[in-house]
Structure 1
Amino acid sequence: MTVELGTLISIGSALIAILSVIIAYLTYQSKKTNLTKSDTKENAEVKAGLDYIRKGVDDIRIDLKANEKQINHLSERVTRVEESSKQAHKRIDKISPEKG
């Protein structure tokens, strides 16, 4: 029984094609794994950045509330000083002789 050269070449070509498909699949899986790792790392960095921004916004809100309390307190004090000043002017006007 003799095997023809064309048959051997066909079988060899088929084996090379199968081997090429296997190598392509393994390469695809390797790149997919690396891409997943890269995406995970990027997502972690974005999440860390967002957490940092969220903390900064919370700190700004706390500072803003403290400033609002101080402004309200100063507003009340200014109102009291204006009332006191008005009363003092009335008393001074009663005491001082009228010009004229």
Structure 2
Amino acid sequence: MEINAAAAIGILGTISSIIFAYIGYRNGLKKESSDSGRSSGALMSDVGYIKAGVDDLKRKQETTEERHFKLVERVKGVEESAKQAHHRIDELREEVGKDAGSKV
């Protein structure tokens, strides 16, 4: 009977160690899954932050391009105005030159 009790204790110990090992394995899987989900969530958050930054840069670039085109149009107008002013100045010089020549 003592041998049967020792065998029963040995079998019970083996079964309980298998059960505890399985429980530890399951807890490890849950923790690993939780850690994996946490790191995946952090990665997705970082990607979202980067995407928002890129979108913001695109908006700023579009605004800058729009301001650039407006400035180009203004410069064209100023150049045309300066050209007309030079023509008027040349005409005035010619008139002043003619008037000065006829008075002498």
Q: 1:72 matched to which residue of 2?
A: 69
Residue 84 of structure 1: which of 71, 81, 85 is its match?
Answer: 81
2:68 is aligned with what amino acid? I
Q: 2:16 matched to which residue of 1?
A: 19
Residue 92 of structure 2: which of 83, 91, 95 is its match?
Answer: 95
Sequence identity (%) = 32
TM-score in terms of structure 2 length? 0.78
Structure 1: tracts of 5 or more residues without a match? none
Residue 39 of structure 2: which of 39, 42, 48 is its match?
Answer: 42
Q: 1 or 2, which has the higher helix percentage? A: 2
Structure 2: tracts of 5 or more residues without a match? 98-104
Give the RMSD, CA atoms, in angstroms. 1.9
TM-score in terms of structure 1 length? 0.80
